[in-house]
Amino acid sequence: MRDFVAAAVSVVGTVSDDLGVATQDFAAVGVGVPGKVDPSGGTMSHAVNLGLGPRPIPLAALLSEALGAPVHVENDANAAALGTARLLPDAPEDLTFLSVGTGIAAGVVLGGRLRRGVHGVAGEIGHLPVDPGGETCECGRRGCLELVASGSAIARRWPVEDGRSPAEDVFRAAGNGHAAAAAIVAELGGHLAEAVILLAMTFDTGTVVLGGGVADVGQPLVDAVAAALRERAAASPLLEALHLDRSLLLAPDAPVGAIGAALAAHHELDGTARPQMLRSVTGG
C-alpha cells in the first residue's frame, strides 16, 4: 500500500507540475481503486487483486495528508461508469459499465447517480461463481467469473512474451484461424454474455459499455459477446425480446475512470468549496 500511495502522489505531482499549480490548490483529487470502497470514510478493502483483505485502508486520509488537498475515493468501475455516462452522446441517465481487466466488475448509473449499494459492492460480479468445481479465487470462493473471463484468465490460457497483450494476441490469432485461440475467444464471449444477461436482468439499463484493459481489443470483443448473446437469445423468447446484442458499446477512447473519479470528487464538495481546479488520478 505504501508503494500504491507513493505512485498516486507521483502522478498527482506530475499533473500539478504540468499545470503550474500546487497540489494544495486543487479543489479535490478523485481516486479510483478496485475492491470494496467506502467513499464516505475514504477507505478501501477486499481488493483481492492487490492483495488487500478485510482491514480497511484509510486511503483518502493518507493521500490527503501527502497532497494537502481533499481526496475522494471511489471504486474504479463506478468511476468509469460515471465518466462514461458523461462522455457518451446524449449522456444516458441509465448505464452499466462492465470492466474487463485484471479482474471483472461493473459500475451502474441509475437516474444519473451511481448505485454503490449498502456495502459498496454493487456490481462486483467478478466474484460470482460460474463454475462451482473450478479453481479457488482470491476472494475465497470457487470458480468465480473473473477466473475464467478476465484479462488475467486470458493470460493464463494464452501466455505471450513480455510487452504484448494476451487479449489482443489471442483475438488476432483467432481472426487468423487459430483453432485454440478461437475456442478461447468463444468461451470468453460466452462468459461475458452471461455477465451482460445478469446485469440486464438486474438493472435493465438498456446500455452496457465494455471497458477495461481487455476492451482495448476493440470491436472484435463486442462482436464475440454479441454473437454469444444472439446464440442464447435464439433459445429464449425473453432474451430475444431484449435485443441485448444491440445494447453493447465500447468505452469511449478517453480516460473514463479518471474523469469519473474527478466527477465523483466534485459531487462531494460542499457548497462553500472554492471553484478551483479539479483533477483525478485512477489507481487500478
pLDDT (tens, 9 = 90+) of the chain, 284 residues, equals 778 889 889 999 998 999 999 999 998 999 999 989 999 899 999 887 788 888 999 999 999 999 999 999 999 999 999 999 999 988 889 999 999 999 999 999 999 899 999 988 999 999 999 988 899 998 899 999 999 999 999 999 999 988 889 999 999 999 999 999 999 999 999 999 999 999 999 999 999 999 999 999 999 999 999 999 999 999 999 999 999 999 999 999 999 999 999 999 988 875 333 334 444 444 43
Amino acid at 110: L
| Structure confidence at residue 126 (pLDDT) | 95
| Structure confidence at residue 66 (pLDDT) | 92
| Structure confidence at residue 191 (pLDDT) | 97
Tell me the torsion sign for CA atoms 266, 255, 25, 62.
Answer: positive
CA distance 12 to 22: 10
| Structure confidence at residue 163 (pLDDT) | 82
Residue showing cell 459498496 = 120
CA distance 265 to 259: 10
Beta-carbon neighbour count of residue 283 at 10 Å? 22
Instruction: Give the residue from 136, 149, 153, 237 showing the smallest Cα distance to 194.
Output: 149
The residues near 86 (Cβ < 8 Å, ≥ 6 apart) are 259, 260, 263
CA distance 50 to 25: 30
240, 234 Cβ separation under 8 angstroms = yes
Amino acid at 202: T
| Structure confidence at residue 120 (pLDDT) | 87
| Structure confidence at residue 248 (pLDDT) | 97
| Structure confidence at residue 47 (pLDDT) | 86
